Chains A and B, each alone.
Chain A
């Protein structure tokens, strides 16, 4: 492998964004036919480096060479011409276009002024066969499963004769099985001489598939290592810059009485399609029920229905014996719910309000925050200072707008507000999405603390590792239904993955 020639090299790349040095003298190279993983936390500068290679941004300093020649990449047009293709984390596909239209966009085949869809479709079919990427060129992209959409993205790069493919967090949206499939495709591609840059923050994946691993932290390259010479702990250490505890320390805890009881609820989404069908489960005090599932299988609507953001069309929700079906968020909150919403910026915080105001959003209207309808700034201030120190929120002051904080600290503001109240039930939806390892560690710890205090916790997450680490029982959601509820100790990743992909539950 080390004999292979270098197809892409970046030397001394520096990129400054307002307030952040996103890339600081970064060196990176890619050999022909290898999978080179780029590992790092959010904000480490991985995506910036790739955007520079792909021409979406331009570096302040440094040079990029492709196949030994110095390349000027000012826009994606240049990088495409140099044989670089990129599959973005958020797919760059147009849902209302067909596969063929998406693939040809920007590089259209035209006959007599008209789009030549047939020729393009034939070429796509040929690429599909060659690389084992099964896609129907005439299908509309919107309704396709994410795994297939990702293939379309890969076909898009191959259609442009890419020899270097950048995959940005490609497994974030996939089930474990789909990820396996992707790894097979990646190996097929490298076997045919394609070189791959694989961006991720998942340690297991890089160890499983990468030929070399480069770790980035805070805009710098920390090291480049071979997977055979390293392990998860060492990689995590490099990523974070200190020792990290990768496992959650969790003692056994006896579950108490039933707190949340959900009986046969169905929910419709904003398009008026029923996305949750007849779901029932219970969560008891002192236990964590994890809901696993690939994103978009009804978890969002389920949590909205439980927290009062959306009314269920049928069924019943009770918290501690009190019927709260279709009640307003305030009524449900007063009944003892702490809610960590899926989208922290839209539903969790008012970004243009100060940290102090955000921390009082649940009970600003009664004492001590309000007195005869007038807000008491002193009480808000005291409350926020107490929570900021108790929950280790890194903010210059309580008066800074929540929008100015980093993602991890924004999430801590929400966690502080929701968990500091006297709650019986916590619903945490994707509580650590997009956070750095340090914050994840902290939030996981807080969730387990709540459970040990006898609070019922409903954890919804697309990260199977998170579900496995925190839950006492695990429910799997697939196409709006709970297909299985199992004891967390008596199941495996593989089994959960199969259920998440829609496999039938065998008699356990």
Chain B
């Protein structure tokens, strides 16, 4: 990641935030708008960040993974279903049920990527086709089971979707409490602190995503595991000649990647909203891949790129709030589908390479033959 890329990211985020602030300032003070935008950005960037990390691990080890979308979707379904089962059938408390749900999601992601690993590493199937198979399988499997389990004749839950055990709670960072005494009696000061506090009050998966970004970066570039992972993705034969088991390293990394995608899936049905609907990932697995590429296959870079997409989604959400105060000259912003295009347009701009070309690992997508 070079300065050019980071400044592009900073510029886009500033513009997206700026537009909302300019429109919304008649209703809300700018600080409140910015902090609320930031909080949303971080939250909605979570699945993109985790999806991009998933891609980073797979592709750094030399396996192209376009099945992240499918892995997320399947994990979202099974995580949610697992939570419901634990809650309704096994009678666990909601807290235990949703925690187990998260584990089911991670497990599902891992299993889906195991399938991808078997196809692409053992059977040397074209990795794009392998990934496509996973995406198609995910849509079919989740759609079918969703219908059969909840709405079919004689379905387990008798034709209706039972109440979910809920979503993961927000973890409150006690900034406001800390600053109350410093602010003294100034109400404005307290209000500002409360506004800033919102940025830090995130849910567990969002927080772990950020921690995982830095952890992954460290692992990839400073540990034995990372060195070997990158070696099998750059020049597997060289790794083989120094006694590294290429197949094992690739399997392990693809499965780790799948577990990241699984956690991303859990975000949708266990952290964001307590429900599942067919196709709910809505292309975010693919946007994750764009973030990974724009981030030059590095965790921190991919996270920065994911934040851009997060910001454009946050803009879309916030625009709804200020819909009635959009000036007539900017009336096109009232059409949510126009604003909603932003992430996709950004994806295309980024992938053209105008902002500088990125280099994938040299053996990315190439099966290893001895």
Name A residues whose Cβ lies closer than 8 Å to a Cβ of B.
54, 56-57, 75-77, 80, 86, 88, 91-97, 101-102, 104-108, 110, 113-115, 156
> A106–B236 Cα gap in the complex (Å)?
12
Interface string of B219-234 (1 = CB under 8 A from A): 0001110011011001
Residue B239 lies at the interface, judged by CB distance under 8 Å to chain A: yes
Using Cβ atoms and an 8 Å threshold, which residues of chain B touch A105? 227-228, 231, 238-239, 242, 244
- Smallest beta-carbon distance B219→chain A, Å: 9
Using Cβ atoms and an 8 Å threshold, which residues of chain B touch A115? 222-224, 227
> A110–B234 Cα gap in the complex (Å)?
22
Inter-subunit contact A92/B242 (CB<8 Å): yes
Inter-subunit contact A75/B223 (CB<8 Å): no
Number of residue pairs spanning A and B whose beta carbons lie under 8 angstroms apart: 67
Using Cβ atoms and an 8 Å threshold, which residues of chain B touch A156? 242
Residue B240 lies at the interface, judged by CB distance under 8 Å to chain A: yes
Within 8 A of A (CB), among B162-216: none
Kindly name the residue among B224, B239, B244, B362 whose own CB sees the greatest number of chain A CB atoms within 10 A: B224
Given A75-B243, A95-B235, A106-B239, 15 more pairs with CB closer than 8 A: A56-B240, A56-B370, A76-B240, A80-B243, A92-B241, A93-B235, A94-B234, A94-B238, A95-B234, A96-B230, A97-B230, A105-B227, A105-B231, A106-B242, A108-B224
B228, B230, B237: the one within 8 Å of A106 (CB): B228
> A101–B223 Cα gap in the complex (Å)?
11
> A115–B362 Cα gap in the complex (Å)?
22
Using Cβ atoms and an 8 Å threshold, which residues of chain B touch A101? 227
> A387–B7 Cα gap in the complex (Å)?
62
Using Cβ atoms and an 8 Å threshold, which residues of chain A touch B228? 105-106
Contacts A92-B235, A92-B238, A94-B235 given; indicate if A77 touches B243 (C-beta within 8 A). Answer: yes
| Chain B: CB-nearest residue to A77 | B243
Contacts A56-B370, A94-B231, A95-B362 given; indicate if A76 touches B224 (C-beta within 8 A). Answer: no
| Chain B: CB-nearest residue to A156 | B242
Using Cβ atoms and an 8 Å threshold, which residues of chain B touch A92? 235, 237-238, 241-242
- Smallest beta-carbon distance A356→chain B, Å: 30
Using Cβ atoms and an 8 Å threshold, which residues of chain A touch B362? 95-96
Inter-subunit contact B242/A114 (CB<8 Å): no
| Chain A: CB-nearest residue to B226 | A115
| Chain A: CB-nearest residue to B221 | A115
> A108–B228 Cα gap in the complex (Å)?
10
Using Cβ atoms and an 8 Å threshold, which residues of chain B touch A97? 227, 230-231, 234
> A88–B370 Cα gap in the complex (Å)?
14
Inter-subunit contact B242/A80 (CB<8 Å): yes
| Chain A: CB-nearest residue to B235 | A94
Inter-subunit contact B242/A76 (CB<8 Å): yes
| Chain B: CB-nearest residue to A103 | B242
Name B residues whose Cβ lies closer than 8 Å to a Cβ of A.
222-224, 227-228, 230-231, 234-235, 237-244, 362, 370
Using Cβ atoms and an 8 Å threshold, which residues of chain A touch B241? 54, 56, 76, 86, 88, 92
26 contacts between A and B (CB under 8 A): A56-B370, A57-B370, A76-B242, A76-B243, A86-B241, A91-B238, A92-B237, A93-B238, A94-B234, A94-B235, A94-B238, A95-B235, A104-B227, A105-B227, A105-B228, A105-B231, A105-B242, A106-B239, A106-B242, A106-B244, A107-B243, A108-B227, A110-B223, A113-B223, A115-B222, A115-B223
- Smallest beta-carbon distance A374→chain B, Å: 35
> A74–B11 Cα gap in the complex (Å)?
55
Using Cβ atoms and an 8 Å threshold, which residues of chain A touch B230? 94, 96-97
> A91–B362 Cα gap in the complex (Å)?
15
Q: List 10 tightest A-B contacts by C-beta distance, closest first.
A: A106-B242, A77-B243, A92-B238, A108-B224, A94-B234, A92-B241, A94-B235, A76-B243, A106-B243, A114-B222
> A113–B242 Cα gap in the complex (Å)?
20
> A56–B243 Cα gap in the complex (Å)?
10
Kindly name the residue among B228, B230, B238, B362 whose own CB sees the greatest number of chain A CB atoms within 10 A: B238
| Chain B: CB-nearest residue to A78 | B243
- Smallest beta-carbon distance B110→chain A, Å: 23
> A141–B228 Cα gap in the complex (Å)?
16
Contacts A56-B240, A77-B243, A80-B242 given; indicate if A110 touches B231 (C-beta within 8 A). Answer: no
Using Cβ atoms and an 8 Å threshold, which residues of chain A touch B227? 97, 101, 104-105, 108, 115
> A332–B34 Cα gap in the complex (Å)?
63
> A106–B227 Cα gap in the complex (Å)?
9
- Smallest beta-carbon distance A487→chain B, Å: 43
Using Cβ atoms and an 8 Å threshold, which residues of chain B touch A102? 238
> A115–B230 Cα gap in the complex (Å)?
14
- Smallest beta-carbon distance A94→chain B, Å: 5
Using Cβ atoms and an 8 Å threshold, which residues of chain A touch B240? 56, 76
> A96–B243 Cα gap in the complex (Å)?
20
Using Cβ atoms and an 8 Å threshold, which residues of chain A touch B370? 56-57
> A93–B227 Cα gap in the complex (Å)?
13
- Smallest beta-carbon distance B51→chain A, Å: 24
Inter-subunit contact A96/B242 (CB<8 Å): no
| Chain A: CB-nearest residue to B237 | A92
Kindly name the residue among A75, A88, A101, A106 whose own CB sees the greatest number of chain B CB atoms within 10 A: A106
> A75–B243 Cα gap in the complex (Å)?
7
> A335–B242 Cα gap in the complex (Å)?
51
- Smallest beta-carbon distance B370→chain A, Å: 7
> A88–B239 Cα gap in the complex (Å)?
13
Using Cβ atoms and an 8 Å threshold, which residues of chain B touch A106? 228, 239, 242-244
- Smallest beta-carbon distance B60→chain A, Å: 11
